[in-house]
Structure 1
Amino acid sequence: MRILLRDYPREAWPGHPNFAASIQNWMGAHDMFRQLGREVRLNTQSYLNKDRSAEDSADRLAYYGNLLVRNLHGHHGWEDHSFFPELSAADGRFDAGLETLETDHLALDNVLDRLTRQANRVVKLTQLDEAQAYEESGTLLETASEIEAFLARHLVDEEDLVVPILLHHKLRG
Structure 2
Amino acid sequence: MDLELERRTGLPEHLRVLADLYPRETWQGHRNFSGLTAFWLERHLMFRELMARLVEGAERHLDAADPRFAAEMSRTTGFFLNQLHGHHMIEDQHYFPQFIPLDARLEPAFELLDRDHHALDGHIHGLAERSNDVLKLMAAGEDEKKAVDLLAATQRDFRSFLHRHLEDEEEIIVPVVLEYGADME
TM-score (norm 2): 0.88
Q: Specify the alignment match of 1:86 in structure 2.
A: 98
Residue 66 (1) aligns with residue 66 (2): no
> Counterpart of 2:181 in structure 1: which amino acid?
K
Q: Does structure 1 conserve the Cα–Cα contact (< 8 Å) formed by 2:17 and 2:106?
A: no
Match for residue 151 of structure 2 among 114, 137, 140: 140
Q: Identify the residue that residue 24 of structure 2 maps to in structure 1.
A: 10
1:44 maps to 2:58: yes
Q: Comparing 14-23 with 42-51, which one deviates more in the overlay?
A: 42-51
* Aligned 1:15-34 pairs, distance under 5 A: 15-34=29-48
| Structure 1 residue runs without a partner (length 5+) | none
Cα deviation 1:79-117 (Å, max 9, x = unaligned): 112111111022221010111111011111111101101
| Structure number having the greater helix percentage | 1
Does the 8 Å contact 1:36/1:67 carry over to 2? Answer: no
1:59 Cα deviation from its structure 2 partner: 0.6
TM-score w.r.t. structure 1 length? Answer: 0.94
**1:118: how far off?**
1.1
Q: How far does residue 134 in structure 1 lie from its aligned partner after superposition? A: 2.2
Q: Which amino acid aligns with 1:36?
A: L
- Report the Cα distance in structure 2 between the residues aligned to 1:9 and 1:41, rounded to whole angstroms: 30
* Equivalent residue for 1:153, pick from 130, 142, 164: 164
Q: Give the secondary structure class of the aligned counterpart of 2:182.
A: coil
Match of 1:86, as an amino acid? Q
Are 1:114 and 2:126 counterparts? yes
**2:10: which partner in 1?**
none
Deviation per residue, 1:21-56 (Å, 9 max, x gap): 010000000000001111111111111111523xx1
Partners in 2 of 1:51 and 1:139 — Cα distance?
16
Matched, 1:127 2:139: yes
* CA distance in 2: counterparts of 1:2 and 1:61, whole angstroms: 37
Identity %: 33
8 Å CA contact retained: 1:115, 1:140: yes
Offset of 1:171 from its aligned partner?
A: 1.2
CA distance in 1: counterparts of 2:82 and 2:52, whole angstroms: 16
How far does residue 130 in structure 1 lie from its aligned partner after superposition?
A: 3.6
Aligned partner of 2:110 in structure 1 is 98
Structure 1 stretches (4+) deviating beyond 3 angstroms? none
The CA distance in 1 between the partners of 2:114 and 2:19, in whole Å, is 20
Task: Provide the C-alpha distance between the structure 2 equivalents of 1:140 and 1:148, rounded to a whole number of angstroms.
Answer: 12
Q: How many residues align?
A: 170
Secondary structure of 1:7's counterpart equals: coil
Q: Secondary structure at the match of 1:32?
A: helix
Asked whether the 8 Å contact 1:48–1:134 carries over to 2, the reply is yes
How large is the Cα RMSD of the aligned pairs? 1.2
Paired residue type of 2:85: H
